[in-house]
Amino acid sequence: MSVLDAGAALPRRRPDILPALTPLAVALVAAPFIGSPSTFVTLTAAGLAMGMMIFTMASGLTLVFGMMDVLNFGHGAFIALGAYAATLVLLPLASWSSADSLPLNLAAFVLAVVVAALVCGVFGWVFERLIVKPVYGQHLKQILATIGGSIIAEQLLYAVFGPAQIPLNVPKTFEGSFVIGQAAIEKYRLVATCVGLLVFAAEMLILNRTRIGLLIRAGVENREMVEALGYRVDRLFVAVFMAGSALAGLGGAMMALYRGQVHATIGGEFLVLCFIVIIIGGLGSVGGSFVASILVALIANYAGFLVPKLALVSNILAMVAVLLWRPRGLYPVSGR
Amino acid sequence: MNLRAMNLLSGDPPRGRALQAILILVILALAAAPFLFPGAKALNAAAKTCVMILLAASYDLLLGYAGIVSFAHVMFFGVGAYGVGLALYGLGAGWGALGVGLAAAAALSLALALAIGLFSLRVQSIFFAMVTLAVAYAFNVLASQLSWLTGGEDGRSFKVPDVLQPGFRLVEGKVFGVAINGKILTYYLLLVVVAAAFLVLLRVVNSPFGRVLQAIRENPFRAEALGYRTVVHRTLATCISALGATLAGALSALWLRYVGPDTALSFSIQVDVLVMVVVGGMGSLYGAILGAALFVFAESYLQDAMGALSQVAADARLPLLPALFHPDRWLLWLGLAFVLAVYFAPSGIVGALKGSEAKAN
C-alpha cells in the first residue's frame, strides 16, 4: 500500500468544501431566530435569487481580474448599460411581455437579456481598446483610467437616456408569486435563480472542460508561460473582457427587471456589492464569488429581517469576518 | 525668494514661471474674493475652492505621494462635517461646541483610518481601493439611516458661533440670506485655516517621511528592503490625509451651516476630488490648488457656457449634441479630461506647466 506506484495518477487535490458550506451555516444559524418557517423560506428564496443576480455581475468582474489583473471600476457602467439595453428591447415589445402567453413572455425576456449581454460585450470591446489597453500592468493608472471611463460612460447614459428613472415591467407570466404552504415565493426570483445557476454552470463548464477554459486558467496561473507556448494571450484577454462586460450587462438587465425600474445609479450601487463579493470569494475565483454572492445576499436578507439597522453594514461585517478567517478570501487563487 | 519664504514653503516652491504666475493669480483672487467678486454665487464658489484645495491636497498626499488609491476620503470629509455640524446642533452655537465637534471628528477619523489602514494595507494597494470603497459606501448609508443622530437624508441645519453669524434672529433651517459680515468673516477663517493646513501638508511631504512615501510609491519592495516599514508609513499617510479631509469637512459644514449626506458624504465628491488631483497634477500639492480652482470654476461657470452651446446645437437641429452639451453633463467633459490626463499627462497641469518651462529654458 505504502509503496509508491509510478503509474498511479497524482493524488487528487482534496476539495476544500468548508467555505462552500458557509451559506448553509448562516441559514442554519439564522433559522431559529427567524422562527416562522414560511418567513424563513421566503427570505432564503429571495436571498438566493438576489445572490444569483449579484453573482452574474460579480463573476464578470472576478474573471476579468483573475485573467487580466485588471480591476475594472467601469464594471458598474456595464451593469447600467445592460439595464438600459434591456429596456430598449422590452419597451417596443410591450405587447409581447404583457400578453398572457408564456412563449411570448419568455421570448421577450430572453431577447432582452441576450441583447443586453451582447450590447455590453460589444461596448466592453470598445472600453478595453480605448480605456484599459494603454494601462495594462499599472494598477494605479488602471484604477484611475477605468474610473474615468465609468464617469464618461455614466454621463453618456444620462445624455442618451435622460436622468429620469424608466419604469420596466417583468413579463406577465413572471409576475406574482407561488404560494407553498404559507411561504410566498415570487416567480421572477425563481427565474433569476435559474438564470444565475445556468450562468454558473456555463462558466464552470467552459473554464474546466474546454480548451479555451484551459488556456484561460493557464493564463491566470502563468501568463508568460502560455504566451511562450505560442498562444495569443492578448486576444484571449479581449474575449474575457467582453465576456465579463456581457455578464455585467446580463446581471444589470435582470436586476433592473427585478426592481421594475432603470436608472444609471444602479451601476455604482452594485459595483460596490460586486467588490465585496469578489473580495470575500477570493479575487479571481469564479467558484468563490458564487459562494460569496449567496453568502452576502443571505446575510443581508436575514439581517434585514432580524436587525434592520445592522443590515446596512452586514456586507462589510461579513467581509471583515471572512477576511479574519481567510485573509485572501474563501477560495484564494494562487499567484494573487 | 528669500529664506523665510522658502522656510514657509518647506523649501519646495512652485517651479516654473507660468506655474508661479497662475498660482499667484489664484491665491490673490481667493484672498480678495469678497471684494473682487461681489455676490453670493462668487463667494460660495471661492469658499468651495478653499475647502476643495484642502481636500484635494490631503488626497494628493495619499494618491500622488504614497501611490495609494482610497475611496474613503469623502468619508473622512463627512466625519469632519458631521462632527462639527452635530456638535453645533446639539451643544448650541459656541466655540466650545465647535472645538468638541472637531476633536471628536478628528478622533473618529483617526480611528477609522488606522483600522482601515492596518486591516487592508498589508495586502495590495488594489485591495485597499476596494475595501475603502465598500467602507465609504456603508458609512454613507449608515449616516442617512441613523436619522435620530444625523437627521437622515434631510441632514441638519445648525447655527454657528455669533461672530460668524450676525443674523442672530434667524429661525433655524433658514440658513441662506444671512447678513454678509458673518459670511465674509467665515470666509476668511476658511482661507486662513486652509492656508495653514496646506503649509503643514507641504511640510509633511517634504519631510524625510514624505521622501519615504515617495520611495514606497516608486518601489515598495525596495523600500522595505531598505528597512522602512511600508505598512506603518502607508498607514500613517492614510491617517494624516484623513485628518486633512476631516478639517476640510469641518470648514465646509461651517460655511454651509448645514450638514447632510449630499453635501458631506456623496460619492460624487470623491470622484470630484479624484478629478481635481489628477487634472491638477498628482504628486505636487500645488496641483491641488490648480485642480480645485479649475474644477470649481468649471462647475460654477462652465455650465452656463455649455448651456449656451447646447442651445446653439439645438437650434441647428444637430442630433445628440444638445444632450452632450447640456449643462448637467459637464462632468462628461471633465471625465474626458481626466482620462486624457491619466494617459498623456500623469503630472497634470503642474507637469505641463513645468514641462513647457523646461523646454523654454
pLDDT of residue B156: 87
**Chain A partners within 8 Å of B116 (Cβ):** none
Interface contact B342-A152, CB threshold 8 A: no
Q: Is the pLDDT of residue B292 over 60?
A: yes
pLDDT of residue B321: 75
pLDDT of residue B291: 92
Terminal-to-terminal C-alpha distance of chain B? 19
CB pairs under 8 A between A and B: 97
Query: Mean pLDDT across chain A, nearest whole number?
Result: 87
H/E stretch holding A261 reads strand A261-262
pLDDT of residue B175: 41
- DSSP class of A290: H
CA distance A65 to chain B (A): 11
What percent of chain A has a predicted confidence (pLDDT) above 90? 35
pLDDT of residue B356: 60
pLDDT of residue B201: 95
Instruction: Report CA B99 to chain centroid distance, whole Å.
Output: 21
What distance in Å separates the CA atoms of residue A49 and residue A208, rounded to the nearest whole number?
A: 25
**Residue A25 included in any domain:** no
pLDDT in tens, B147-178: 888 887 888 888 888 767 655 433 344 444 44
Predicted TM-score (pTM) above 0.80: yes
Q: Which residue has the higher pLDDT, B312 or B214?
A: B214
Find cell 442554519 and name the residue.
A28
By Cβ distance, the residue of B130, B324, B335 closest to A148 is: B335
pLDDT of residue A326: 84
pLDDT in tens, A141-199: 888 899 999 989 999 999 888 888 888 888 877 877 788 777 778 888 899 999 999 99
Distances (CA, A) of B128 to B116, B118, B131, B178, B222: 8, 10, 5, 43, 20
Interface contact A140-B69, CB threshold 8 A: yes
Query: From the candidates A275, A315, A322, which should be mutated to test the interface with B, based on the most B CB atoms within 10 A?
Result: A275
H/E stretch holding A117 reads helix A102-127
pLDDT of residue B180: 55
Listed residue (A284, A283, A319, A287) closest to A300, CA to CA? A319
**Residue A18 included in any domain:** no
Mean pLDDT computed over A56-66? 91
**Residue A325 included in any domain:** no
Distances (CA, A) of A201 to A1, A245, B10, B220: 38, 18, 60, 40
**Chain B partners within 8 Å of A145 (Cβ):** 339, 342-343
| Least confident piece of the model among A176-190, A271-285, A291-305, B63-77 | A176-190
Let me know how many helices (H) and strands (E) chain B has, helices first.
19, 2
Q: Which residue has the higher pLDDT, A79 or A315?
A: A79
CA distance A164 to chain B (A): 13
B151 in the Ramachandran plot: left (φ > 0), alpha (ψ -120 to 50) or beta? left
Listed residue (B303, B329, B308) closest to A160, CA to CA? B329
CA torsion through residues B250, B256, B261, B265, sign: negative
Domain region containing A138: 35-266
DSSP B56-110: HHHHHIIIIIS----S-HHHHHHHHHHHHHHHHHHH-SSHHHHHHHHHHHHHHHH
**Architecture category of domain B15-360 in CATH:** Orthogonal Bundle (1.10)
Listed residue (B332, B328, B214) closest to B282, CA to CA? B214
What percent of chain A has a predicted confidence (pLDDT) above 70? 95
Cβ B70 vs Cβ A140: under 8 Å: no
Terminal-to-terminal C-alpha distance of chain A? 37
CA torsion through residues B218, B221, B226, B229, sign: positive
| Least confident piece of the model among A52-61, B81-90, B112-121, B267-276 | B112-121
**Residue A312 included in any domain:** no
**Residue A309 included in any domain:** no
Interface contact A135-B329, CB threshold 8 A: no
Q: Is the pLDDT of residue B270 over 60?
A: yes
> In degrees rounded to 5, what are phi and psi of residue A312?
-65, -35
What distance in Å separates the CA atoms of residue B219 and residue B248, rounded to the nearest whole number?
A: 31
By Cβ distance, the residue of A159, A309, A320 closest to B329 is: A159
What distance in Å separates the CA atoms of residue A72 and residue A262, rounded to the nearest whole number?
A: 22
pLDDT of residue B264: 87
> In degrees rounded to 5, what are phi and psi of residue A264?
-70, -20
How are beta strands A166-167 and A261-262 bridged, if at all? antiparallel
Cβ B84 vs Cβ B103: under 8 Å: no
pLDDT of residue B173: 43
Interface contact A160-B323, CB threshold 8 A: yes
Distances (CA, A) of A276 to A36, A79, A302: 30, 16, 18
Most confidently predicted of A86-95, A241-250, A296-305, B272-281: A241-250
| SS3 of residue B227 by DSSP | coil
Query: Mean pLDDT across chain B, nearest whole number?
Result: 84
Cβ A57 vs Cβ A252: under 8 Å: yes
pLDDT of residue A66: 82
**Residue A113 included in any domain:** yes
**Residue A142 included in any domain:** yes
Interface contact A144-B69, CB threshold 8 A: yes
pLDDT of residue B226: 92
Interface contact A276-B335, CB threshold 8 A: no
**Residue A294 included in any domain:** no
Distances (CA, A) of A322 to A273, A317, A326: 15, 9, 6
Q: Which residue has the higher pLDDT, A136 or A190?
A: A190
Mean pLDDT computed over A34-49? 88
pLDDT in tens, A109-123: 999 999 999 999 999
Number of folded domains that form chain A: 1
Domain limits of chain B? 15-360
**Chain B partners within 8 Å of A149 (Cβ):** 339
